[in-house]
């Protein structure tokens, strides 16, 4: 991994390197240079979420794209999975999404998809990063400079695509509360679910540029839980800022994890004989209960590093149909190339209707082991395996937990944070053991 690209594209604080206008322009140029020879009339589709900095960065990226002789097609405010879909559906040579996903509004990012709608592998990211850093002087002549245009029906195209994935789905008897995180789904979700006939309540659909993910969305489901109870709804569904994650709330206001949603959807596919290889791909962050639930269903797990693109790589290699992360990224490879919160919503609702059971019952397919995750701010990111104090405390905690828990310590791929995750037999023991590791990391790296 290079110095610009993290686990999900380039990310940082807006207007500060690498999320400044200059670097965004160079990134747009580099992506266009990388992919322009795939098409005689090349274009790149560009979407953004609702962050204040989105206009600045998307226009800078578009300028870079045009400077390399490629047309830039603005999709407007639209979910990340829509950019992936439209990159493929429109014959573009690439797609670029301007978003920092679930991060606070001050952050922003650049996510890149190829012409087939897939996120880039490490090798391609390294090539693009090299072009950015070297600031290539490969200018096209004035008569070949790209143009900028807008796709006015981009959201409709995406919504039609989602509806085709669940033909005949009728939500007339479902009352659902939606939390759109003041983000990219704030118009798409209401249009989609009202078309499907849901008795829907929509929350956090008033973005102002700075309130994206602010005490709302998939990272903050408390308000959604209360709303589900207040409205006596069948379930609640929360997206993150760019719409590629889903977290659900059952009819009693209890929050389900991404792992639990995947187990429910995996069972549906398995029962219908549609789960290729009887396999589900997940990351090292998935709960112990997730693996036990799959084992009980006769489904094999496959494990990858953190990052939905690594999940997808494994899915392609293993010909698996379903994969995702406990954080709420879910990929249904029979219909899409990337994580899609609204697509996952549709598949989850299909399962509810098919089973004729409330979400609280379906969630019992998986017992969630107590888990504590603490993010520790760090000044830099030295190799954890080469710091004796950290290695020692991790070994000590692992020995104490034995086969009743596990420890995972890793750096964030997008922020200066070290993530400490501990699972154990009880909440009290899990929290205590996690705090032991956190204290050592703070002492050494804080």
Q: Name the active-site residue from 53, 101, 345, 363.
A: 101
Q: Do 85 and 116 touch, CB atoms closer than 8 A?
A: no
Beta bridge partners of 119: 113
Let me know if 101 is a catalytic residue. Answer: yes
Beta bridge partners of 304: 283
Instruction: Report the Cα 304 to chain-centroid distance in Å.
Output: 15
Residues that are catalytic? 101
């Amino acid at each position: 991994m290079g110095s610009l690209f993290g686990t999900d594209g380039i990310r940082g604080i807006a207007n500060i390197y690498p999320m400044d206008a200059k670097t965004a322009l160079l990134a747009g140029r580099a992506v266009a240079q990388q992919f322009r020879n795939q098409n005689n009339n090349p274009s790149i589709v560009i979407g953004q979420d609702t962050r204040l900095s989105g206009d600045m960065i998307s226009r800078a990226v578009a300028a870079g794209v045009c400077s390399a002789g490629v047309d830039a097609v603005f999709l407007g405010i639209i979910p990340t999975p829509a950019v992936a879909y439209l990159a493929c559906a429109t014959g573009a040579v690439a797609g670029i999404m301007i978003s920092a996903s679930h991060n606070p509004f001050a952050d922003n990012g650049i996510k890149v998809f190829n012409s087939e709608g897939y996120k880039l592998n490490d090798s391609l990211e390294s090539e693009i990063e090299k072009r950015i850093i070297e600031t290539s002087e490969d200018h096209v002549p004035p008569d070949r400079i790209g143009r900028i245009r807008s796709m006015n029906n981009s959201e409709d195209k995406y919504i039609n695509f989602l509806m085709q994935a669940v033909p005949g789905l009728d939500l007339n008897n479902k009352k659902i509360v939606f939390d759109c995180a003041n983000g990219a789904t704030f118009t798409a979700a209401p249009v989609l679910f009202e078309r499907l006939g849901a008795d829907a309540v929509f929350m956090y659909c008033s973005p102002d540029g700075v309130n994206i993910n602010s005490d709302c969305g998939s990272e903050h489901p408390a308000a959604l839980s209360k709303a589900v109870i207040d409205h006596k709804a069948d379930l609640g569904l929360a997206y993150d800022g760019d719409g590629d994650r889903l977290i659900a709330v059952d009819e009693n206001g209890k929050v389900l994890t991404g792992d639990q949603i995947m187990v429910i959807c995996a069972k549906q596919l398995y029962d219908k004989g549609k789960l290729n290889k009887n396999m589900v791909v997940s990351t090292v962050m998935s709960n112990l209960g997730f693996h036990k639930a799959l084992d009980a269903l006769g489904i094999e797990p496959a494990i990858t590093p953190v990052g939905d693109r690594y999940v997808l790589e494994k899915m392609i290699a293993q010909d698996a149909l379903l994969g995702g992360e406990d954080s709420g990224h879910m990929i249904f490879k029979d219909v899409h190339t990337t994580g899609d919160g609204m697509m996952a919503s549709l598949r989850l609702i299909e399962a509810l209707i098919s089973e004729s059971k409330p979400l609280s019952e379906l969630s019992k397919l998986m017992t969630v082991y107590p888990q504590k995750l603490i993010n520790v701010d760090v000044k830099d990111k030295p190799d954890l395996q080469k710091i004796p104090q950290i290695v020692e405390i991790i070994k000590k905690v692992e020995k104490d937990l034995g086969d009743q828990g596990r420890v995972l310590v890793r750096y964030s791929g997008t922020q200066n944070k070290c993530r400490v995750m501990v699972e154990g037999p009880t909440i009290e023991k899990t929290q205590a053991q996690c705090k032991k590791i956190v204290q050592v990391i703070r002492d050494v790296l804080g």
